[in-house]
Structure formats: C-alpha cells, structure tokens
Chains A and B, each alone.
Chain A
C-alpha cells in the first residue's frame, strides 16, 4: 500500500524545498494546469497536443527528420540512430530532404485532419542544420499556413538563429536544459563543437549553458513561447532540476517538462553502457511535483521519435513512408477546408470538456457542509490507470492498450499524473508463448495503481490484475475519464475500502 501524501508531507518538512518558489505543493488539482497563463498564450497552446494535456486527447502531431547533424554529444544519446523498433528521441528510420518533408507533411495533414502541429526535432539538433530546417519551415509557412510549426534544440546555436525563427512565424520553441551548473553539465555533455573546435568538459558545459540561457531570454523578449525539457538523471541532476525549474520560470519559460532518462545497455549510450539507472515512476512524479510551483508542469510527454506521426502515444509513420507519399495525390486547398471544420468541432468539444473539468474540480467527494469537508480530508489519494485511444473517454480494451494514462483521485479532485508505457519488446501472440510476459509487462507498468479502467477486459488478465492488487473496472466504458475516475473513487470510499486504511495509517503514525 502506498501513502503518497503522507510521505510527501514528511519529506517536505525536512526542508529540501526552500521558499524559492520553484517548488510547492499548492498546484495540486486546484486549478487547470494552464490556468496561470495569460489568455493570448492559452489561446496559442490550447490546440497543441504537446503542451496541453486536454488537447493531446484530440489533436495529433508529427515530426519530420530533416536535421541529422548535431553540434554536441549528450550521454543519453547514441548517434547511430536508425532503428525501427525503438521509440525515443533521436531515433529515425528515414531521413528526408526539405522537399520530401514538405510533401510528407501535406500528405499527413490531408489524411489525418486532427494533425495540428509539425515539429522538427532531429534526429540531430535542428539548429545545427539551419539550411535544411529553415528551408522546410519556409516552404510550410507558405504552403500549409494552417499548421503550427515548432522546433526543439539543445540551445547551442539558438542565439544566432532567433531572428530567422521569427521570420517563419515559429511561435513554439523547446530548449533542452538539463542543468545551469557547468560542473553538473560536464557529467552530461562530453563535448560540444563550438567556434570550429571540439571543446570538452566543464568549459564546454559552461558555453552550452550560457547559450541556452541567452537563447531563452531572446525568445521570451520576442514573444516566442518557450518550453523547457529536462532529462531527469538520478544522482546527476535530480536535486539540481528544482533550481533549473525556478530559473527558467523566472526567465519566462511557460512550461517545464521533466522527462525520465532512457538508458539501456543495448542503446549503446554512455549512460546505458555505464549502468546509469533511469528514475522510477515515483522519483519522476515526486520531482515533477517538487518543480511544479505555479508553473505548468507537463506530465503527458511521450518522448517521441524524431519522425513520429499521429496522436501522442501512437506512431503511424509506416503509413507515410517516402514511397507511399510519392504516390499520393494531395489537394491541399481542399484538405485545408476539411481541416478547418475538423479543428473547429474539436475545439468546441475541447472547450466543453475544459469547462466541465473546471466544474468537476470544485466538486468534492462528499458534497455539502463544512463538516463533510472535514471528513473528506481523511481519505488518501488513489492512483488509477485508464485505457484510452483518445477523445478523453475510456474507450480502449485492456489488451489493446500500448500505454495507460495515470490519474490521481483525492478529495480535492482528479489530476492527471502521467502515462505508463507497456513494454512493447514482447507483444507476443498465441503461438510464440510469450502472451504471459506481455500481460506481466502491463501489470508491471501499472505499479502503484489500485484500479484500471478500460472499455473491456478478458477473464485471464482480470484475475491476474486482482492478484496484483489492481482492481479492473470495465463499468465506465465511453465515459469521460475524470468523471469515471471520481466515480470509482467515490465507490471506494462508499465501500469502506479507504476507511480501514485510514485506521491502519493512524495506528502506524
């Protein structure tokens, strides 16, 4: 049994969180994640699946791999990037020229009208490939003006690119900032290519950090939205990220995305080979909570490949390979009309959902008097997993889920915590005898969750889940996620399930 809230309260009081403003527990479910943003920024991000948790259930994104070169080395990256079976940043199957990329983007936009965002994210550093990156952006801003453009960068070449970025109306930039201390940086970046030299160690990290911070300031000064990505590397930058969060927020970044390190020996990265471990789900969540403060903390990032296509968490890249795109006839003018209609209807649905969520956030478990509020405080939060294929409702079969979304229900309401990817190395089938391991993988991914909500579930996984202490629930199929999660939480309270633990918890205190 996990008693997250009590644990957290305990560790906070030991004082690792100062009054710096970078951390604080106040962000919990009491307001929507983007509510602190000024209206004009909210307007910009609300249809962006990578920035808005609500939007990511409805809108799709794509990356085009036009930027192979890089100007730095990170210890979590291996530049031998061509692998179709891996899904992580920096990995692609097919490198595109700008012309090919533009054709592919238009094909995807026509076929998947929910696609609202095109990003250039690698597989190297987009700004270390200025000609290929900007040629792609220039053509798209002319030929497909209804697509939002964004770019992510390590920041080294950012200051010299800001003027060019402004030209193509790129209003979202992501900078990966893992540290603001060169000593820590030297443990993450072995070298950079700078002023025609390969520079190593603390000196290299210092230059990189200065360029990142300068780039961030320049973008904010020009009104370009900046998101900061950080890779959480246990024992290297975990505590330090609280300071990073505070500083980038002060400088005007609107969103901070703390992502877990991905490190396996078979990736051939420094961290993978040297045995640097990845953070646990709990460590990631605790750090995200500690960094939240009043800045939006992003919890739905899927760490996509540099050529990903589709809704977050899915990849439809296979439908749009170079040969297939070559054969497609695209009438983009017609596609734009259809896209506009689809976007308008999604927007309407989204607004309705956000309004409903705001109403729900105000609803406590036991409605009514102040005396009831006192009772409500007694119940601990519960983590629940949800199987969904989009639209913000519970609409996926347990066995089909390649990932689960995790929500926390507490007397204060329901909040989104993150996603758990189901181990895809072994999907298995009836003949290969690995069915069991796929189920074991799903159960492992759901660690810490006490219920899993899905549209349907088979008998075998049902009993295995129960044995693992996770209650399967198929009674809320097609219901909106937050409402269903709250309903199950209420049922848990009503059944007295949380009462006993309350007593237990007091006995242990």
Chain B
C-alpha cells in the first residue's frame, strides 16, 4: 500500500518536507515515493500528507491508482473550461 507520484510533478519539494516517514526522494526527472517506506500516513495523520499539500492535480495517485486530487479539485477551474481555453490558445 503506497501512493505514487507521476510525471506531472513539478518538483516543488512540498511533499518531501511534510512526509512523516521520509519516503519521498528526488528521482531522475521528478520526485518519487519509495513504496516500501510509504505508510499512506496511517498512524501519523488522517490524510496522506503529500496528497494534502501537492499543488498539481493528478500528480499523486492513491493506492488504487486514482488521482488523489482530480482535475478541477485544486485550481477550481472546471476541466471543460480549461480544455476550451487551451483550444482557444492553440487556435490563435
């Protein structure tokens, strides 16, 4: 049972500083979680700390593979609005 960081990580270090078991390390291009060390913060906190401070939607996956912070949950931008804005920018 462990969380996982994926490539949308922006290397901001926030998770490293708050992990209670030092399971997060600097990988070759983004931060990674040592699955053997990760406890999902059980016994320490009510919520996984990395997922509670991460500013990037989708960058951290829960043990079941679902994003801890799904699209729109952190920025407040509805995903369809974001997609529309991206289309408009590309059409310029």
Contacts and interface: CB of A to CB of B under 8 A. Distances in A.
Interface of A: 68-71, 73, 75, 79-82, 95, 124, 128-129, 131, 190-191, 193, 196-198, 265-266, 268-270, 272-274
A268 B71 CA distance: 13
B46 A69 contact: no
Contacts of A95: 11
A73 B75 contact: yes
Given A80-B56, A196-B45, A196-B52, A70 B77 contact: no
A270 B10 contact: no
A124 B74 contact: no
B49 interface: yes
A450 to B, nearest CB: 34
B55 A198 contact: no
Nearest to A199: B52
Contacts of B12: 68-70, 79, 124
Contacts of A273: 77, 81-82, 85
Contacts of A198: 47, 52-53
Given A69-B14, A129-B17, A191-B74, A266 B56 contact: no
B76 A75 contact: yes
Kindly state the interface size class of chain B when it binds its partner: 20 to 34
Nearest to B46: A197
B52 A197 contact: yes
A73 B54 CA distance: 10
B30 interface: no
Given A69-B13, A128-B14, A265-B89, A79 B55 contact: yes
B1 interface: no
A274 B77 contact: yes
Interface in B27-56: 45-47, 49, 52-53, 55-56
Given A193-B14, A196-B18, 20 more contacts: A70-B55, A73-B55, A79-B10, A79-B56, A81-B10, A82-B10, A95-B11, A124-B14, A131-B17, A190-B74, A193-B18, A193-B52, A193-B53, A196-B49, A196-B52, A198-B47, A198-B52, A268-B82, A270-B75, A270-B76
A435 B12 CA distance: 39
A506 B10 CA distance: 60
A108 B14 CA distance: 28
Given A79-B56, A197-B46, A198-B53, A265 B88 contact: yes
- The 8 A-B pairs with the shortest beta carbon distances in the complex, nearest first, are A69-B14, A79-B55, A68-B12, A193-B53, A198-B52, A273-B85, A190-B76, A69-B13
28 contacts: A68-B11, A69-B14, A69-B17, A69-B53, A70-B55, A73-B55, A79-B10, A79-B56, A80-B10, A80-B56, A81-B10, A82-B10, A95-B11, A124-B12, A124-B14, A129-B13, A190-B76, A191-B74, A193-B52, A196-B46, A196-B49, A197-B46, A198-B53, A265-B88, A266-B89, A273-B81, A273-B85, A274-B77
Contacts of A71: 14, 53
B66 to A, nearest CB: 17
A69 B19 CA distance: 13
A240 to B, nearest CB: 20
Nearest to A125: B14
A385 B69 CA distance: 48
Nearest to B49: A196
A272 B55 CA distance: 17
A273 B12 CA distance: 23
Interface string B57-92: 000000000000000001111000110010011000
Contacts of A79: 10, 12, 55-56
Nearest to A78: B75
Nearest to B16: A69
Residue of A82, A95, A273 most packed against chain B (CB within 10 A): A273
Contacts of B49: 196
B56 A197 contact: no
Nearest to B53: A193
Residue of A69, A131, A190 most packed against chain B (CB within 10 A): A69
Contacts of B45: 196
A68 B18 CA distance: 14
A80 B8 CA distance: 9
A186 to B, nearest CB: 10
